Amino acid sequence: MSNPLFDCVPLDDLAEKRQHIEFKGKVSDFVRLVEIAEVALAAVSGNQRPRRWRAAPVEIRLDFAWMDAEQRIPTVSGRVSAQIPMVCQRCLDVFGQSLDAAVTLLLVRADAQYAELAGFADYEVWEIEEKAIRPLDIVEESLVMAIPLAPRHESEVSCGALATEIAESGLKMTRPFADLRSQMEKSDN
């Protein structure tokens, strides 16, 4: 049995059948995702690199359908999620970057007229050149676009050396503009 993610299938067939794909893959299935993680990990020493990260799960749910009654414009919606190793831009430690992307796409050919369709603004428009697609390409592109420009831990408390420094110093964060409103009101009086 073939994997529906890897097969190149006519887009019209996917929409016509209202294809539902629910699949649990591995990070190693996605070449570009692996390349991005490897570039990030090249900046750290070998003992800091996580092992077996390529085997981490990628959860995929995609639903294909038609946007319009005339069945001219296919859509795909769903959710994809994964976790890849990245280097925190704040503390320079390796951490697991969670990627979670909602997929709401209109898949249109370059000559398609979709602007007059009601509800098209709820979708991201992807122009496609071929009549057949690999759903894997949609998943991979969605995950790549979910990677932040500056990956970092979600909170300062979990941010490696920075968390240790904050805890050891006992410093409280100074917020110079926290009381600005009351100071402005005093000066207005």
**pLDDT tens readout for residues 67-94:** 888 888 899 999 999 999 999 988 888 9
* pLDDT over threshold 70, residue 112: no
> Of 55-64, 65-74, 108-117, where does mean pLDDT reach its minimum?
108-117
- Domains of the chain, by residue range, sit at 9-188
pTM of structure = 0.78
pLDDT (tens digit per residue) in 121-178: 788 888 888 888 999 999 999 999 999 999 998 887 778 765 555 555 555 655 666 6
pLDDT at residue 184 in the model: 74
Please write down the HEC assignment for all residues of the chain: CCCCCCCCEEHHHHHHCCCEEEEEEEHHHCHHHHHHHHHHHCCCCHHHCCCCHHHCEEEEEEEEEECCCCCCCEEEEEEEEEEEEEECCCCCCEEEEEEEEEEEEEEEECCCCCCCCCCHHHCEEEEECCCEECHHHHHHHHHHHHCCCCCCCCCHHHCHHHHHHHHHHCCCCCCCCCCHHHHHHHHHC
